[in-house]
Amino acid sequence: MIATEDRLIAALDFPTAPQARELVVRLGGTVQFYKIGLELLMAPGFFDLFDWLKSEQKKVFVDLKFFDIPETVARAVRNLAERGADFCTVHGNQSIMEAAAAAKAGDLKVLAVTALTSLDQGDIEDLGFQCSIADLVLSRARRALAAGCDGVVSSGLEVERLRAEAPHELVCVTPGIRPVENRVEADQKRIMTPAAAIAAGADHLVIGRPIRDAADPCAAAAAIQAEIAAAFAARDTASR
């Protein structure tokens, strides 16, 4: 069981740790789960921020998309597990995913990246894949499950198909969430509203700019939390 308030993962996409911390303080109890990634890793204070978030009883998703030789990935995952991370991401072939899954401990869940929400069909073909995005995501999800990963990061557009294959086994974390439909983002091509993603079967929604850039981030986060709760209530009713 996942607490409703943990379904929203706010992305701390900031150039500095103090800016990220300021938003967390401002959001207070509205958000319980945060994602930190590459941008903050390249700034001073990444792990100070991580440790502070844990001291504030927040859950932390470390999104670094580990891609290296299996032993190096395993050591990185092991270090994060010892530090108390809740989620981390891995990107690679079967041996890399297997190494990451074998190294997890405690509450850490390893998520395999399927296809970035910034990619469309043309981008996938440019990368050398001769299949649809949906088929690629499903293939990678199957391999992640076989490797022992806990879940995947996937666009909401593919989640319904994933759920048909793995109704309960996979944790589905969905980025590319925008509260307003048909909102065009230069670097986000496969997007979905919170309610639509939950209806499709997503477990967690990663949301950054709609909260970070809002005139009132706390009100924006609260509205998203309300939309998520309503969507889960509707989903539960439909499944009865």
pLDDT in tens, 36-54: 999 999 999 999 999 999 9
Average pLDDT over residues 202-213: 94
Nearest to 18 by CA among 42, 38, 48: 48
- Top pLDDT among 69 and 238 is at 69
Judge contact between 111 and 89, C-beta under 8 A: yes
Q: What is the pLDDT of residue 176?
A: 82
Dmax (CA) for the chain in angstroms is: 50
What does the pLDDT read at residue 112? 93
Q: Is 59 a catalytic residue?
A: no
The per-residue pLDDT for 140 is 85
The CATH number that applies at residue 95 is 3.20.20.70
pTM here is: 0.89
**pLDDT tier, 184 (very low <50, low <70, confident <90, very high otherwise):** very low
For residues 168-194, give the mean pLDDT.
Answer: 70
Tens-place pLDDT, residues 12-29: 999 999 999 999 999 999
d(CA 240, CA 231): 15
The more confident residue out of 136 and 177 is 177
pLDDT at 182: 42
Structure-model confidence comparison of residues 143 and 126, the more confident one: 143
> How many domains are there within the chain?
1
Query: What pLDDT is stored for residue 171 in this prediction?
Result: 92
- Partnered with residue 199 across adjacent β-strands are none
Set 54, 65, 109, 189: catalytic member:
65
122-140 as b/e: b if 16+ CB within 10 A: eebeeeebeeebbebbbeb
The mean pLDDT of 83-98, rounded to a whole number, is: 95
Which residue segment(s) compose the domain that 93 sits in? 4-239
